[in-house]
Chain A
């Protein structure tokens, strides 16, 4: 919440009450876009060749399984990054100056590194295999890539936690302190419950960024949807398939990300009405 008596709250546009965040009009646009893309491809293809639409259908199971890997990577990176990031964020509001400074430094470091560079770093610098109790365990590429995505998630969650705690009015701390709450009790019972609601929209935004960053792992050789799409294009060897195939991949991500974005927006607006 801002302290601006003159300025209205800085809110994202288009208020929509209720569960209407899944707006019918947009579904219609989407369907139209798919039809147009397929139609355009149809027009381009030579009559003898297989239609773009049926080529896409043919590859859908394979590329779809790649897309599941994208989702898996994003979910693991998000879960691990959130857990570590929560701890790091709480360290950032510690009363001990060295803990505060150290966690701030770690947060800033991983927040300012480009995701792709972080990904390269983890792919090249983490060991290919480790020995656990005498057993040699191979670490597959996608796991190292997931670690590469976890680090920036961790740093961003850490900042979300710190920002949410600092956005609460100072009076909440004072009131809890004068009721003889300890710092831990104040955090658990007063501060964090109020923060969770504030943290949810930026956290979901972060998830959208993570899922949209998973195609980066194709650059370092993970067999996800992007890699498989390029593979399919190489197998088909048809220039007229480039637009429909890449278009279909874009649409797949859109269909997955867009409801999340609408839900996030809806939550943001609902929070603003409540507070």
Chain B
């Protein structure tokens, strides 16, 4: 395959370095893994934030509810990129530094961690509302029916309310998580070596902007389309026959 792309370069001038240059191939491979890592970790974290936030919104302690409401209002209504800059540059400037292997002072919190925190908080704000509305979509009478069948309050939640609520909010949840994966590209702005960042390095070194741009676009669309397809399969597997579309 490397031969083919080297040949392609000499005959057509199309320079896909990542397919024949081992150095570019390796760093692009790492970047791909970095995108995957950032996506998976931020999805997991945002889900945890979503569940915890939805739980806190049902709390009796009013200030806790206000904090969650403020968090949601703020993160939903400000640009994710500015949030990321705020975390990395503003908060990053006041976090302590530690010496690394060769004695250089480096921030204790890496740019990857800041990206992870910013992305998770951003997507988590949406997840809280999605989970909460899902639970609210289950009518009281369904809980009553479960309780009159002898379920405890907790048992009714586990066996009836949560499975139903989950099915109701799955489409919105999937939508949000797919968006989150697309938003990981923003980590580029604070220097996390994910796909967009490394692609930029490669086209700066090899002057093959067109080729790398197209590879990048197709790769992202392929990745996201695959994700969307899997989510749809999942939604269909969990669908309740006779209800909804």
Contact = CB atoms under 8 A, between A and B. Distances in A.
Instruction: Answer yes or no: A and B touching, Cβ < 8 Å.
Output: yes
Interface of A: 2-13, 26, 29, 108-109, 112-118, 120-121, 124-125, 166, 208, 211-216, 218-219, 226, 239, 242-243, 245-247, 249-250, 253-254, 257-258, 261
Interface stretch (B42-50, B69-77, B101-109, B147-155): B69-77
18 contacts: A3-B243, A6-B142, A10-B168, A10-B172, A13-B129, A112-B221, A113-B182, A115-B182, A120-B200, A121-B217, A212-B77, A214-B79, A226-B79, A242-B90, A250-B78, A254-B73, A258-B73, A261-B77
B3 interface: no
Given A113-B217, A219-B188, A12 B133 contact: yes
Contacts of A4: 243-244
Interface string B131-174: 01110111100100000000000000000000010001100100
Interface in B59-86: 70, 73-74, 76-83, 85-86
Chain A interface helix/strand/loop/mixed: helix
B201 interface: no
Interface in B108-129: 129
A2 B134 CA distance: 14
B94 interface: yes
Contacts of A29: 70
A112 B169 contact: no
A246 B85 contact: yes
Nearest to B172: A10
Contacts of A116: 185-186, 188, 196
B245 interface: yes
Given A2-B244, A10-B169, A253-B77, A121 B220 contact: no
Contact of A9 (B91, B137, B209, B220): B137
A246 B21 CA distance: 41
Given A112-B225, A243-B91, A261 B76 contact: yes
B130 to A, nearest CB: 9
Given A8-B137, A114-B182, A216 B81 contact: yes
Given A7-B164, A124-B213, A117 B245 contact: no
Nearest to A257: B77
Interface of B: 70, 73-74, 76-83, 85-86, 89-91, 93-94, 129, 132-134, 136-139, 142, 164, 168-169, 172, 178, 182-186, 188-189, 196, 200, 209-210, 213, 216-217, 220-221, 224-225, 228, 243-245
Contacts of B73: 26, 254, 258, 261
B51 to A, nearest CB: 16
Contacts of A166: 245
Contacts of B132: 13
Sorted nearest first, the 3 A-B pairs with minimum C-beta distance are: A112-B224, A114-B182, A212-B79
Contacts of A117: 185, 196, 216-217, 220
A180 B79 CA distance: 49
A7 B81 contact: no
Contacts of B86: 243, 246-247, 250
Given A7-B164, A215-B81, A114 B129 contact: no
Contacts of B134: 10
Which residue among B184, B200, B245 has the maximum number of chain A CB atoms within 10 Å of its CB? B245
Given A112-B182, A114-B182, 18 more contacts: A7-B137, A7-B139, A7-B168, A11-B137, A13-B129, A26-B73, A113-B224, A114-B196, A120-B196, A121-B213, A121-B217, A124-B210, A124-B213, A212-B80, A243-B86, A245-B90, A246-B89, A254-B78
A118 B224 CA distance: 14
A125 B91 contact: no
B88 to A, nearest CB: 10
A242 B94 CA distance: 10
Nearest to B169: A10
Given A113-B217, A226-B82, A8 B136 contact: yes
A167 to B, nearest CB: 8
Contacts of B77: 208, 212, 253-254, 257-258, 261
Given A4-B244, A7-B138, A114-B182, A242 B76 contact: no
A253 B172 CA distance: 24
Contacts of A247: 86, 90
Given A109-B221, A124-B209, A243-B91, A216 B244 contact: no
Given A3-B245, A11-B133, A117-B220, A215 B213 contact: no
B202 to A, nearest CB: 13
A138 to B, nearest CB: 20
Contacts of B91: 243
A118 B133 CA distance: 32
Given A2-B244, A113-B217, A117-B220, A243 B136 contact: no
